[in-house]
Structure 1
Amino acid sequence: MNGPTLQRTAADCAEELPGAHLEHPFGPDWEVFKVRDKVFMLMTEVPGRPVVILKAEPREALALREHNSHITRGYHMNKKHWITLEGGDGIDKKLVRELVTESYRLVVAHLPKAEQPVDPDTYASATRASR
């Protein structure tokens, strides 16, 4: 998957998530997707190539980085809790959608219960089952 397709796939997935919205708080070069004012995905070409930056569980982030050279530590984010995806071999639409949904779910899980647009314990598995 090339960089522009990566970003389009990620954006399409993010736009489908309940309560998600797009902002540009850092200017036009950064697309920032939030749920209840908490960031779950960023997209930019600032590092010289199209990238998608997502939240990830630390152990999962490590495993992803070890198994795919197109997944690296979060660009300008906490290196333990965020990953950066760029286009390349091994990055397909299914993986991108899974990682975007997981990033969203991780952020929703840390919201107060009354503000959660979905149940983070069941949302990702229900979404996978419907595809």
Structure 2
Amino acid sequence: MDYKELTAYCLSKTGAYEDYPFGPDPLVMKVASKIFAFFSVVDGWIHIALKCEPEAAELLRLEYAAVKPGYHLNKRHWNTVVIDGTIPAEELRGMIDHSYTLVVRKLTRAEKERIG
């Protein structure tokens, strides 16, 4: 998956939108007021940081060399994924889905009602 496909997939989630709260980089994907993905490009490689259950985060790091502890994030709950072609597209979509779901679960009732 390339940058355009990854960001489009994130934006296909209910209530998802782009934001730049830290300046021009990184691109942040949010649902309601919460971040579920950070996008940046480092040395020509796309990096996407995604929220993850701690146990699943560890397993993904063991399975894929391209999955690292979250850069500048809580390393227990966030992974940074280098998009280098070694992780299947379906797995990437699953990681995005998981991050989005974890964030939506933590939204207030009012925020959940606003996004549908």
Give the alignment's TM-score, normalised by structure 1: 0.79
Aligned positions, number: 113
Equivalent pair of 1:31/1:44 in contact (CA under 8 Å): yes
- How far has the Cα of 1:114 moved from its partner? 3.2
Structure having the larger proportion of residues in strand: 2
Q: Deviations over 1:22-77 (max 9, x none)?
A: 011112121000011100000012x4332000000000000000111000101111
Give the alignment's TM-score, normalised by structure 2: 0.89
Q: Which runs of 5+ in 1 are unaligned?
A: 119-131
* Moved >3 Å (runs of 4+): none
Q: Name the amino acid aligned to 2:92.
A: V
Match of 2:89 in 1: 93
Q: Percent identity?
A: 34
Matched, 1:40 2:28: no
Which of 69, 72, 87 matches 1:73? 69
How far apart in 2 are the matches of 1:43 and 1:89?
Answer: 16
CA RMSD of aligned residues (A): 1.5
Matched, 1:108 2:97: no
Q: Which runs of 5+ in 2 are unaligned?
A: none
